Amino acid sequence: MQREFQTQDKSVELIEQVREAIAVKSPLFIRGGASKPFPGRKVEAAPIDTRAHRGIVNYDPTELVITVRAGTPVSELDEVLDSAGQMLPCEAAIFGGAATVGGMVASGLAGPRRPWVGSVRDFVLGCRLITGQGRHLRFGGEVMKNVAGYDVSRLVTGSFGCLGLLTEVSLKVLPKPRATRHIELQMPAAAALAGLTEWRRVDLPIAGACHDGETLHVRLEGGVESVRAAHARLGGTSVDDSFWRALREQRLSFFGDPRPLWRLSVPPTAPLIELPGSCLLDWGGAQRWLKSDAPAAVMRESAQRLGGHATAFADVASAGAFHPLPAALQRYHRALKQQLDPHAIFNPGRLYADF
């Protein structure tokens, strides 16, 4: 049954602000909840605030699709879905309630469940976007053919606002699992990674696996009997979900370390190697958080040795937050930017200094 919601449609005001900026060639910094200043470079531009453009546009739980305005807090989205026994599986952080849906999509930052259910991008069905020509277009899902053959609704996910201003997003949602159990197993990191490799082969109902240096934290989700059987097989101590809530929101003591924060994204089967700093293994070993003072070149070389890439979640402007792109991929980035934002109005330099 479709539900009715009171919403605030401020898209006309946002379009006018964009058109005025285009007319005077003044760049804009897209601001949501300001909950994720990193990763990304600092943008020197006039702010355009999306938070007033908020609310649920359409939600029919039987269709497993929700359409929501970009300025809506992620916490509000979670509450609406929870009341219907559903969830956005990628488990994006709410960061104290400040995080917005637009920021969630623009950053593409998913939570601990991501390797088992998919990324933010995997749940984006469509979007509305104000382009750098001042046009308000709809892409994906319920709509018109994407221009130039691009799947724009997914391309804007993780683009950090460099391609346009998101005003609305349609998301696929799923029912919450019937059973959930959180367990802790005392074991070294190498044994944890070996165990996770084996458990992947036998398809245990794992929906979270993080090693904090001493303990492997495992979250099991699924049917009641499958979760019970998996716990019996793995053993370990049953605990509450506080670890997972703190991990999702980056509130573990690990994140309080004053050293710069780096994220290494690597294959789940990447070996355990010595890394420069304190390490937290998330995503079953595929996401390796590091607190380290090591130079950016060292961090990126370490990531490349493991077959992945490194992203700085700290101000390293001289080196850039994101892994340098190969020349061919740079050309594709520039071509797409030119089509959607030909006047370079949106978030100039946020991804790369010359982009």
Provide the pLDDT confidence category of residue 324 given band limits of 50, 70 and 90: confident
- 3-state per-residue secondary structure call for the chain: CCECCCCECCHHHHHHHHHHHHHCCCCEEEECCCCCCCCCCCCCCEEEECCCCECEEEEEHHHCEEEEECCCEHHHHHHHHHHCCEECCCCCCCHHHCCEHHHHHHHCCCCCCHHHHCCCHHHEEEEEEECCCCCEEEEECCCCCCHHHCCHHHHCCCCCCCCCEEEEEEEECEECCCEEEEEEEECCHHHHHHHHHHHHHCCCCEEEEEECCCEEEEEEEECHHHHHHHHHHHCCEEECCHHHHHHHCCCCHHHHCCCCEEEEECCCCCCCCCCCCEEEEEHHHCEEEEECCCCHHHHHHHHHHCCCEEEECCCCCCCCCCCCCCHHHHHHHHHHHHHHCCCCCECCCCCCCCC
Phi first, then psi, for residue 49 (nearest 5°) are: -95, 125
- Segment 159-188 shows an average pLDDT of 96
Whether residue 39 is preceded by a cis peptide bond, meaning omega within 30 degrees of 0, is yes
In single-letter form, the type of residue at position 249 comes to E
Torsion of CA 38, 39, 42, 47, to 10 degrees: -70
Distance CA 16, CA 224 (A): 52
Looking at residue 145, its pLDDT comes to 42
- Segment 278-294 shows an average pLDDT of 95
Those residues with Cβ within 8 angstroms of residue 218's Cβ, 6 or more apart along the chain or in another chain:
182, 183, 184, 185, 206, 208, 209, 234, 236
Distance CA 19, CA 17 (A): 6
**Lowest-pLDDT choice from 162-166, 255-259, 293-297, 330-334:** 330-334
Residue the block writes with tokens 């088992």: 116
Look at phi and psi of residue 276 and say left if phi exceeds 0, alpha if psi is from -120 to 50, else beta: beta
Looking at residue 148, its pLDDT comes to 45
pTM: 0.91
Each residue of 106-151: pLDDT tens digit?
999 999 999 999 999 999 999 999 999 999 999 886 433 444 455 7
Distance CA 352, CA 297 (A): 16
Percent of the chain with pLDDT over 70: 94
Looking at residue 199, its pLDDT comes to 93
- Segment 243-258 shows an average pLDDT of 96
Average model confidence (pLDDT) across the chain: 91
- Segment 91-118 shows an average pLDDT of 94
CA distance from start to end of the chain? 45
Each residue of 213-250: pLDDT tens digit?
999 999 999 999 999 999 999 999 999 999 999 999 99
**Domain positions in the chain:** 11-175, 179-312
Percent of the chain with pLDDT over 90: 75
Looking at residue 143, its pLDDT comes to 39
Each residue of 14-54: pLDDT tens digit?
999 999 999 999 999 999 888 877 787 888 899 999 999 99
Burial of 66 (0-12, 13-18, 19+ CB in 10 A): buried
Looking at residue 144, its pLDDT comes to 36
The answer to whether domain 11-175 has CATH 3.30.465.10 is: yes
